[in-house]
Chains A and B, each alone.
Chain A
Amino acid sequence: MDFTHLLVQQLINGVSLGSIYALIALGYTMIYGIIKLINFAHGDIYMVGAYIGFFAITQAGMSIVPALLVSMVVTGLLGMVVEKLAYKPLRHAPRISILITAIGVSFFLEYTSMYFVTPTPRTFPAVIDNISFNLGSFVINGQQLMILGITVLLMAILTFIVQKTKTGKAMRAASFDTETAQLMGIDSDRIISLTFCIGSALAAAAGVLVGIYYNTIDPLMGIMPGLKAFVAAVLGGIGILPGAVAGGIILGIIEALVSGFLSSTFRDAAAFAILILVLLVKPSGLFGKNTREKV
Chain B
Amino acid sequence: MNFLRRNDLIMLIFGIALFALLQGLISAGAISSFWQLNLLLIGINVIMSVSLNLINGYTGQFSLGHAGFMAVGAYVGVVLTTNFHLPLIVALLAGAAGAGALGFLIGLPTLRLRGDYLAIATLGLGEIIRIVIMNIQYVGGAAGFKGIPHLTTFAWVFFVMLFTLFFIKNFVNSSHGRACIAIRENEIAAEAMGVNTTKYKVMAFTIGAAFAGVAGGLFAHSFYLISPASFTFMASFNYLIMVVLGGLGSITGSIAGAFVVTFISAALANWPEFRMIIYALALILLMFYRPQGLFGYMEITNAKIFDKILKRGRE
The residues of A with any CB-CB pair to B shorter than 8 Å are: 38, 86, 89-90, 93-101, 103-108, 110-112, 114-115, 227, 230-231, 234, 263, 265-266, 268-269, 271-273, 275-276, 279-280, 283, 293, 295
Whole-angstrom CA separation of A114 from B272 in the bound complex: 10
**Set B110, B131, B273: member contacting A114, Cβ < 8 A:** B273
Q: Is the CB of A272 within 8 A of B125?
A: yes
Contact residues in A for B131 (Cβ distance below 8 Å)? 265-266, 268-269
Contact yes or no, A227 B280, CB < 8 A: no
User: Is the C-beta of B121 less than 8 angstroms from some C-beta in chain A?
Assistant: yes
- With both chains docked as a complex, state the minimum distance between the C-beta of B159 and any C-beta of chain A, in angstroms: 32
Inter-chain contact A276/B188, CB cutoff 8 Å? no
By the criterion CB–CB under 8 Å, are A90 and B276 in contact?
Answer: no
A269 to B233, CA, bound (A): 13
Q: Evaluate contact between A107 and B280: CB separation under 8 angstroms.
A: yes
Q: Say yes or no: A269-B128 contact (C-beta < 8 A), given A104-B280, A104-B281, A107-B276.
A: yes
Binds A, one of B13-21, B170-178, B283-291: B283-291
Seen from chain B, the residues whose Cβ lies within 8 Å of a Cβ on chain A are 62, 109-110, 112-113, 115-117, 119-121, 123-125, 127-128, 131-132, 134-135, 142, 188-189, 237, 240, 244, 248, 273-274, 276-277, 279-284, 286-288, 291
* Complex: A38 Cα to B120 Cα, angstroms: 9
| A275 interface neighbour in B124, B134, B188, Cβ under 8 Å | B124
When the two chains form their complex, are residues A265 and B121 in contact, meaning their CB atoms are under 8 A apart?
no
Return chain A residues, CB-CB under 8 Å to B115: 95-96, 99
Are the C-beta atoms of B288 and A89 separated by less than 8 Å? yes
User: Chain B residues with Cβ under 8 A from A107's Cβ?
Assistant: 237, 276-277, 279-280, 283
- The reply to whether B280 and A111 form a contact with Cβ atoms under 8 Å apart is yes
Q: A38-B116, A283-B113 are in contact. Are A94 and B62 (CB under 8 A)?
A: no
Contact with A295, one of B62, B188, B274, B284 (Cβ below 8 angstroms)? B188
Contact between chains at A227 and B116 (CB < 8 Å): no
Chain A residue with the shortest CB-CB distance to B112: A280
Q: Which residue of B lies closest to A224 (CB)?
A: B127
Interface residues of B, dominant DSSP: helix
Q: Which of A108, A265, A276 is close to B280, meaning CB atoms less than 8 Å apart?
A: A108
In addition to A276-B121, A293-B188, 18 A-B residue pairs with Cβ atoms within 8 Å of each other are A90-B288, A93-B291, A97-B291, A98-B287, A100-B244, A101-B284, A103-B240, A111-B277, A234-B117, A263-B135, A268-B131, A269-B127, A272-B124, A272-B125, A273-B124, A276-B110, A279-B110, A279-B117
Kindly state the separation between the CA atoms of A234 and B123 in the bound complex, as whole angstroms. Answer: 15
Is there an interface contact between A268 and B284, defined as CB atoms closer than 8 Å?
A: no
The residues of B that contact A263 with a CB separation of less than 8 Å are: 135
**Taking A94-B291, A276-B110 as contacts, is the C-beta distance between A105 and B284 under 8 angstroms?**
yes
Q: How far is the CA of A110 from the CA of B119 in the complex (A)?
A: 20
Asked if B287 and A272 sit within 8 Å, CB to CB, the answer is: no
CA distance A90 to B283 in the complex (A): 13
Of B132, B248, B283, which one neighbours A104 at CB under 8 angstroms?
B283
CA distance A283 to B240 in the complex (A): 25
Q: How far is the CB of B9 from chain A (nearest CB, A)?
A: 35
Chain B nearest Cβ from A133, distance in angstroms: 35
Q: Which residues of B contact A112 (CB under 8 A)?
A: 273, 277
> Which single residue of chain A is at the shortest CB-CB distance from B56?
A96
Within 8 Å by CB of B120, from A230, A268, A269, lies: A230
- Minimum-distance CB pairs A-B, first 4: A272-B124, A104-B283, A107-B280, A108-B280
* Residue in chain B with minimal CB distance to A111: B276
Query: A99 CB to closest chain B CB, in angstroms?
Result: 6
User: Across the interface, which residues of A come within 8 angstroms of B240, CB to CB?
Assistant: 100, 103
A118 closest partner in B (C-beta): B273
Closest CB of chain B to A15's CB: distance in Å? 23
A93 and B109 within 8 A (CB):
no
The residue in A110, A272, A280 that gathers the most chain B C-beta atoms within 10 A of its C-beta is: A272
- State in angstroms the CA–CA spacing of A234 and B281 once bound together: 29
Could you say which residues of chain A place their CB within 8 Å of the CB of B134?
265
Nearest residue (CB) in B for A272 is: B124
The answer to whether A99 touches B62 (Cβ under 8 A) is: yes
Which residues of B sit under 8 angstroms from A280, Cβ to Cβ?
Answer: 109-110, 112
| Nearest-CB residue, chain B, relative to A99 | B116
Of all chain B residues, the one with the shortest Cβ separation from A220 is: B234
Interface contact B116-A95, CB-CB below 8 Å:
yes
Q: Which residues of chain B are near A111, meaning CB under 8 Å? A: 273-274, 276-277, 280
CA distance A106 to B62 in the complex (A): 18
For residue B279, give the distance in angstroms from its CB to the closest CB of chain A.
6
State the CA gap A86–B237 with chains docked (Å): 19
Assuming A90-B287, A99-B62, A283-B113, is B237 touching A268 (CB within 8 A)?
no
Q: Which residue of A lies closest to B284 (CB)?
A: A104
A114 — which chain B residues lie within 8 A by C-beta?
Answer: 273, 276
Known: A101-B284, A101-B287, A105-B284. A265 touches B135 (CB 8 A): yes
B208 CB, nearest partner CB in chain A, Å: 17
How far does the Cβ of A191 sit from chain B's closest Cβ, in whole Å?
21
Q: Say whether B277 contacts A227, CB under 8 Å.
A: no
Rounded to whole Å, the gap between the CB of A224 and the closest CB of chain B is: 9
**B112, B127, B142: which has the most chain A beta carbons within 10 Å?**
B127
- A selection of 23 A-B contacts at a CB cut-off of 8 Å is A38-B119, A96-B62, A97-B287, A100-B240, A100-B283, A101-B283, A101-B284, A103-B283, A104-B281, A104-B284, A111-B273, A115-B274, A115-B277, A234-B117, A234-B120, A266-B131, A269-B127, A269-B128, A269-B131, A269-B132, A272-B125, A275-B120, A276-B125
